């Protein structure tokens, strides 16, 4: 850290939310000073850190850990219960897509209003608008009401305003997760230029690669507490320990990380093999109406049939289900598909592709289906689809489909660094060329 005054100082910040059993209890406590039944939820507890001028710091933590609450307090849109925040310069925050924008105003009107809220005068706004319009690249849509925008168009405008109001401190909370790949690259390039010019960035992302690539330092927040701070890859490894640990082990791991918060070297994976996390259930499952068959008990298992949903990279697993047929069908095939959180289709298997389509299945029969695979996926969360189809004349139709009906995570492996989504088992090396070959 530099000896000069820090760009940002967070000093013993806490935030508590009080939940009353009845509305009258709040009035009785506030006005009459009478005791009332109230539950307290501490979103943040005694969080302190500093960010140096020109430093980029990443905040990592599980959903609900308190990161967004902390950023809102730093940005000034929420007051802490205790503690204080001191910032040296103007803060520009990109916390929620389109936060502060009015749906009936045009994009240009919203950009001017937002810039004014961030402290620019009329001349500064006029000077900034051409750059904002060029970066957002919305064309004629800039003069259309915001309610006609897609989410991607909204984030283009919000990001353009945030980075062109000449902030001293820029706060970015998962905004880069929206938008196409070309726009995301454009945003990262702009962030790099902002850093090179001496700007200070507070950055939140669930993408570990973004934190390790962009940040000088990282801070781990969990259950409202700051557990670790230091070199990004080490802190991200600590975060992964919590993210992929069984629920019953998290309290012990939290204490271990808290006790060794200064240790930022990568740590071992939390377990040696796959396991079942009972709290890991998909919230986006779609079950189609059966049309002659029904899929049941879709799950990921070990080859021995043990249900698991937290997998080890490189391990052998199976996707299993049972299919009950209500009608006789011909040319029957069973398939499965693995997708990312964003919906990207990664890989799938089908009994028809393997030359094992069933000539005929009779009503009342129940079939056990198994798709075996080797897990080559990198750490992350994935979803499983399943389907059963049959031939009707020259066409193939679904008898039943399940979408996002099962989910699993892949644990990190600190001994093997890889980028992307899939591990192709690269063997990488480099050697100097002889003088004559240069």
Per-residue model confidence (pLDDT) at position 206: 72
Q: What value, to the nearest 5°, has the Cα angle with vertex 231 and ends 229 and 236?
A: 75
Angle in degrees, 0-180, between the axes of helices 181-196 and 151-163, rounded to the nearest 10: 10
Ramachandran class of 434: left when φ > 0, alpha when ψ lies in -120 to 50, beta otherwise: beta
User: What sign does the CA torsion over 205, 207, 213, 218 have?
Assistant: positive
Distances from the Cα of 160 to the Cα of 27, 132, 135, 196, 201, angstroms: 44, 5, 6, 18, 15
- Identify the CA nearest to 51 among candidates 196, 214, 202: 202
Q: How far is C-alpha 386 from the geometric centre of its chain's CA atoms?
A: 25
pLDDT at residue 344 in the model: 81
Question: Any idea where the domains of the chain sit in the sequence?
Answer: 8-89+168-259, 286-410
pLDDT in tens, the chain (438 residues): 445 789 999 999 999 987 766 666 666 666 656 666 667 789 999 999 999 999 999 999 888 889 989 998 998 888 999 999 999 988 888 765 555 688 899 999 999 998 888 778 899 999 999 999 998 889 999 999 988 988 778 888 888 888 888 889 998 876 565 555 567 767 777 888 888 888 999 988 777 767 877 889 999 999 999 999 998 888 888 887 787 777 777 888 888 888 874 344 444 444 457 888 887 888 778 899 999 999 999 999 999 999 999 998 889 999 999 999 999 999 999 999 998 876 788 899 898 875 677 889 999 999 999 999 999 998 888 999 999 999 887 788 999 999 999 999 888 765 555 556 677 665 555 455 677 665
Residue pair 174/204 in contact by the 8 Å Cβ criterion: yes
Q: How many CB atoms lie within 10 A of CB 266?
A: 16
Name the burial class of residue 166, with classes exposed (0-12), middle (13-18) and buried (19+) by CB atoms within 10 angstroms of its CB. Answer: middle
End-to-end CA distance of the chain: 42
Question: Which DSSP letter does residue 357 get?
Answer: -
- For domain 8-89+168-259, the question of CATH label 3.40.50.300 is answered with yes
Total count of residues recorded for the chain? 438
- 392-395 CB contacts, 8 Å cutoff, 24+ apart: none
Q: Are 277 and 411 in contact (CB under 8 A)?
A: no
Give the per-residue pLDDT at 387.
95
Instruction: Please give the Cα distance from 321 to 334 (Å, whole number).
Output: 10
CA angle 325, 383, 414 (to 5 degrees): 140
Provide the 8-state DSSP code for 35: -
User: Would you say 329 and 291 are in contact if contact means Cβ atoms under 8 Å apart?
Assistant: no
Q: Is 369 helix (H, G, I), strand (E, B) or coil?
A: strand
Where residue 134 falls (left for φ over 0; alpha for ψ -120 to 50; beta otherwise) is alpha
pTM: 0.61
Q: What is the pLDDT of residue 176?
A: 60
Which CATH code fits 286-410? 2.70.50.60
Residue 282 · residue 383 · CB < 8 Å? yes
pLDDT the model gives residue 204: 86
The phi and psi torsions of 159 (rounded to 5 degrees) equal: -65, -40
Segment (H or E) for 241: helix 232-243
How many CB atoms within 10 Å of residue 348? 18
3-state helix/strand/coil string of 291-353: CCEEEEEEEEECCCCCECCEECCCCEEEEEEEEEECCCEEEEEEEEEEEECCCCEEEEEECCC
């Amino acid at each position: 850290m530099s000896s000069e005054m820090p760009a940002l100082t967070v000093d013993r910040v806490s935030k508590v939310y009080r939940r009353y059993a009845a509305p009258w209890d709040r009035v009785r406590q506030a006005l009459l000073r009478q005791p009332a039944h109230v539950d307290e939820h501490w979103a943040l507890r005694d969080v302190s850190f500093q960010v140096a001028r020109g430093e980029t710091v990443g905040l990592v933590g599980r959903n609900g850990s308190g990161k967004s609450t902390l950023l809102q307090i730093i940005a000034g849109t929420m007051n802490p219960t205790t503690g204080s925040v001191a910032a040296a310069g103007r803060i520009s925050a990109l916390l929620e897509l389109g936060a502060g924008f009015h749906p009936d105003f045009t994009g240009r009107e919203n950009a001017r209003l937002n810039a004014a809220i961030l402290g620019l005068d009329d001349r500064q706004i006029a000077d900034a608008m051409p750059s904002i319009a060029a970066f957002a690249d919305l064309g004629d849509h800039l003069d259309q009401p915001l309610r006609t925008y897609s989410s991607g168009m909204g984030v283009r405008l919000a990001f353009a305003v945030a980075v062109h109001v000449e902030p001293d401190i820029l706060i970015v909370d998962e905004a880069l997760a929206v938008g196409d790949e070309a726009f995301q690259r454009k945003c990262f390039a702009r962030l790099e230029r902002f850093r090179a010019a001496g700007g200070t960035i507070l950055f939140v992302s669930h993408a570990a690669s973004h934190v390790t690539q962009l940040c000088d330092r990282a801070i781990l927040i969990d259950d409202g507490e700051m557990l670790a701070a230091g070199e990004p890859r080490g802190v991200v490894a600590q975060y992964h320990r919590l993210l992929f640990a069984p629920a019953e082990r998290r309290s012990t791991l939290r204490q271990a990380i808290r006790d060794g918060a200064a240790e930022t070297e990568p740590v071992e994976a939390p377990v040696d093999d796959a396991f079942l996390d009972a709290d890991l259930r998909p919230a986006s499952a779609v079950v189609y109406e059966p049309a002659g068959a029904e899929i049941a008990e879709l799950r990921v298992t070990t080859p021995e049939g043990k249900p698991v949903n937290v997998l080890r990279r490189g391990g052998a697993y199976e996707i299993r289900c049972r299919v009950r047929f209500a009608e006789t069908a011909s040319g029957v095939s069973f398939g499965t598909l693995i997708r990312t959180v964003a919906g990207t289709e990664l890989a799938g298997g089908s009994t028809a592709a393997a030359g094992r389509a069933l000539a005929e299945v009779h009503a009342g029969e129940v079939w056990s289906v198994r798709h075996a695979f080797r897990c080559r996926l990198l750490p992350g969360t994935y979803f499983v689809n399943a389907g059963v189809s049959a031939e009707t004349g020259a066409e193939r139709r679904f008898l039943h489909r399940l979408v996002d009906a099962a989910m699993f995570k892949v644990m990190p492996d600190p001994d093997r660094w890889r980028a992307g989504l899939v591990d192709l088992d690269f063997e990488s090396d480099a050697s100097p060329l002889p003088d004559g070959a240069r």
